[in-house]
């Protein structure tokens, strides 16, 4: 668990420092308003600011770690640092599919999603490449944005998928983006090859 918890702490620490600074400033301003000394306000800023930063950081990291452990258990895998990443991509090459056009294959893939995802945007480019932006949710009800792109290549199609938190400022998502990508990959049948990578 620690190999997931400590990286989570490092990810959320900057946000914790900002939150702690704001709390410390709020307490210090109250002291100054009541006529307190600058030195007293400075001590209060450090004490309350650093204390809140530690509590905030460890609390958020612990919550995310617990969610990752549950997600990994449901998936039947060991939790690892890859699940901490808030951006995941995968590429799959399909052959021997009945569809002749990328847009038709994309539609078929979207129809097979269970639970279904909300299609926020769908596009067909001039070269026939089809893509869709989906609004998905993990089993913990965390909102995830997914992009699926289908392009013709040789005698088959390349399907590229990307997942990330719908709220782009999120530093941790409890493995939600990882879980949604895994679900998308399971939906795509007839895989011959696949390449996965994780971002920050």
Give tens-digit pLDDT for 35-91.
Answer: 666 566 666 667 767 777 788 788 888 888 888 888 888 888 888 878 888 899 999
Residue 154 confidence (pLDDT)? 81
Task: Tell whether the model's pLDDT for residue 181 goes beyond 90.
Answer: yes
Residue 119 confidence (pLDDT)? 93
Residue 179 confidence (pLDDT)? 93
Residues 6+ apart with CB under 8 A from 6: none
Q: Exposed, middle or buried: residue 138 (CB in 10 Å: 0-12, 13-18, 19+)? A: buried
Task: Tell whether the model's pLDDT for residue 193 goes beyond 60.
Answer: no
C-beta separation of 85 from 177 below 8 A: yes
Q: What is the rounded distance in angstroms from the CA atom of residue 182 to the CA atom of residue 25?
A: 43
Three-class SS state of 34: coil
User: What average pLDDT score do residues 127-153 get?
Assistant: 92
Mean pLDDT of the residues in the chain: 80
Q: What torsion, rounded to 10 degrees, do the Cα atoms 68, 4, 91, 104 define? A: 20
C-beta separation of 118 from 168 below 8 A: no
Residue with tokens 């011959």: 192
Q: What torsion, rounded to 10 degrees, do the Cα atoms 101, 104, 110, 114 define? A: -110
Its pTM stands at 0.76
Q: What is the rounded distance in angstroms from the CA atom of residue 61 to the CA atom of residue 13?
A: 9
pLDDT bucket at 172, cuts 50 / 70 / 90: confident
User: What average pLDDT score do residues 163-170 get?
Assistant: 88
Residue 162 confidence (pLDDT)? 96
């Amino acid at each position: 668990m620690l190999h997931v918890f400590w990286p989570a702490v490092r990810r959320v620490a900057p946000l914790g420092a900002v939150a702690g600074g704001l709390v410390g400033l709020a307490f210090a301003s109250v002291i100054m308003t009541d006529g307190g000394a600058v030195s007293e306000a400075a001590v209060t800023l450090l004490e309350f600011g650093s204390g809140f930063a530690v509590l905030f950081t460890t609390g958020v990291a612990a919550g995310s770690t617990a969610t990752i452990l549950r997600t990994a258990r449901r998936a039947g895998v060991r939790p690892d640092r890859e699940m901490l990443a808030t951006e995941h991509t995968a590429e799959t090459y399909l052959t021997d599919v009945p569809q002749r056009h990328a847009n038709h294959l994309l539609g078929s893939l979207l129809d097979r999603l269970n639970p279904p995802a909300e299609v926020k945007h769908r596009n067909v480019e001039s070269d026939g490449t089809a893509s869709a932006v989906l609004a998905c949710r993990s089993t913990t009800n965390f909102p995830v944005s997914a992009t699926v792109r289908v392009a013709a290549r040789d005698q088959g199609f390349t399907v590229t998928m990307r997942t990330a938190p719908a709220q782009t400022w999120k530093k941790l998502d409890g493995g939600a983006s990882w879980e949604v990508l895994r679900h998308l990959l399971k939906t795509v049948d007839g895989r011959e090859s696949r390449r996965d990578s994780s971002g920050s």
